[in-house]
Amino acid sequence: MSGCGKVKAWQVPLRLVTGAFILHSGMEKWDGPDEQAQGVHGMARQTFPFLEDIDAPKFLKLLAAGEIAIGAALLTPMVPSRLAGAALTGFAGSLMAVYAQTPGLRKEGSVWPTPDGIGVSKDSWLLAIGLALTLSPHQKHLKHVTHARHLKHHGGHHKHHCRHEQGGHPGHYGHLKQAKQEAKEVRRLAKDVKGLSQDGHSHHHAHRHGPGHARKGCPAHR
């Protein structure tokens, strides 16, 4: 289911389990007996009076078809999670409305169920799952957010790198200053060595030829 790129890993168990149960429930209601049709229709019309104009067997068929469609949508990877979640939210919201309006399903003055209402109260889980799927971030939105974070990270890294190249980083500036000082010291030592070499050669020439001997034209200097 996750291979299509539309369903995230955390959505798979929600869609798989919920879709399977709703699909199975709809298939069982499709050929339900008249007693089941009368019972389901009686609970629903107390909350939604307009359903009184629909026959109980026909209403059961419509309810079964709706459950089959929602279950199939949840189990089909090509259906976006937000769309399937919206359908599940609407369906579960209707069930919770029935739970709230039907006498005997809730304790008096409380949201908690009576023993007869426990089965219907658990449809609140379907509502929570539907909302989670509906409110999940869109795939394109996540791509934009990831791309923006990527640009921000690499942009900061590029600025940091440029600061190093321009000597803007304090540690890097210290290294450059130290390197310049060392190069200056090397040049100074080279000049001193050259000067000492020239002075030594002049002293040797005077010692060999005499102090008044001119260096110009001497074979030793050619």
DSSP 102-134: STTSB-TTSSSBPGGGHHHHTHHHHHHHHHHHH
At 150, is the pLDDT very low, low, confident or very high (cuts 50, 70, 90)? Answer: low
CA distance 90 to 77: 20
Residues paired with 187 in a beta bridge: none
pLDDT for position 208:
52
DSSP states of 48-93 as a string?
-GGGGGS-HHHHHHHHHHHHHHHHHHHH-TTS-HHHHHHHHHHHHH
> Do residues 32 and 65 make contact, with C-beta atoms less than 8 angstroms apart?
no
At 188, is the pLDDT very low, low, confident or very high (cuts 50, 70, 90)? Answer: confident
> Do residues 8 and 27 make contact, with C-beta atoms less than 8 angstroms apart?
no
CA distances from 26 to 14, 150, 183, 198 (A): 18, 46, 86, 108
Whose tokens are 């026909």? That residue is 58
Q: Residue 167: CA atoms inside 13 Å, Cβ hemisphere, count?
A: 8
pLDDT for position 65:
97
- Asked if the model's pLDDT at residue 155 lies above 70, the reply is no
Greater model confidence, 57 or 161: 57
Poorest-confidence range of 116-130, 154-168, 190-204? 154-168
Poorest-confidence range of 125-134, 137-146, 179-188? 137-146
Average pLDDT, the chain: 78
Report the alpha-carbon angle 23-99-41, nearest 5: 65
Closest C-alpha to 88, from 135, 46, 48: 135
pTM: 0.61
